[in-house]
Structures are given as C-alpha cells and as structure tokens.
Amino acid sequence: MTRYWFEFDFNTYEKKIPPGLCYGCGITARDYNHAISLLKDKIFLDKNMPPISKCIENVDINTLDESKVIPNMTPPIYMGIWFPMRYQ
C-alpha cells in the first residue's frame, strides 16, 4: 500500500468544495488508480472532480501541516482516506 497526498485546483471548480479539502487529501491505497477511485467514490460521489494540482506518492506525513492536517488525520497505515477524517 502507498500513501498519497492530493491537492486540488478549485479555481475553476463550479461546485461547492467538499468540507476539509481546501488543505488537501490523504489516502492510503493499493496504487494511484485505486486512490483516484476512492476520491471519486467517497468524496466527490462520482461527480466531476476538480483538477489535481499536486500528487505526492509515498508522502512523508511529517511534511504535512502541523496545525491543520496532522492533528486531524487518522493513522495512514490503514487503506482509505485518512485526511480529512470525515470521509473514512
């Protein structure tokens, strides 16, 4: 399994931004395609997804925001969405 960190370009996104996603999204998945599938199924609910502005594969969680992200995430050792927590 691989940890991914995604950030999005919401500048042209015409829908309401899903809660918590302005900071990014952390996912542990089998591979990139599985991570994208989780994004679509769990967060964007099979609706249009905004463009991905950044994707970090094997992200070191110690590089993530210490005040917004790290205290509000679940352990990234389990498959699924670990930030924001509301989409587990």
Q: List the structure tokens of 81.
A: 């969405």
The whole-number pLDDT of residue 46 equals: 64
What pLDDT does 78 receive?
94
| pLDDT value of residue 86 | 84
What is the pLDDT at residue 47?
76
What is the residue type of 75? P
Q: What angle do CA 65, 66, 69 make, to 5 degrees?
A: 55
* Cβ-proximal residues to 53 (8 Å cutoff; 6+ apart), any chain: 7, 8, 9
- pLDDT per residue as tens, the chain (88 positions): 999 999 999 998 878 888 889 899 999 999 999 999 999 999 998 678 999 999 999 999 999 999 999 999 999 999 999 999 888 7
pLDDT score recorded for residue 79: 96
Q: In whole angstroms, how far apart are CA 51 and each of 8, 74, 79? A: 6, 25, 23
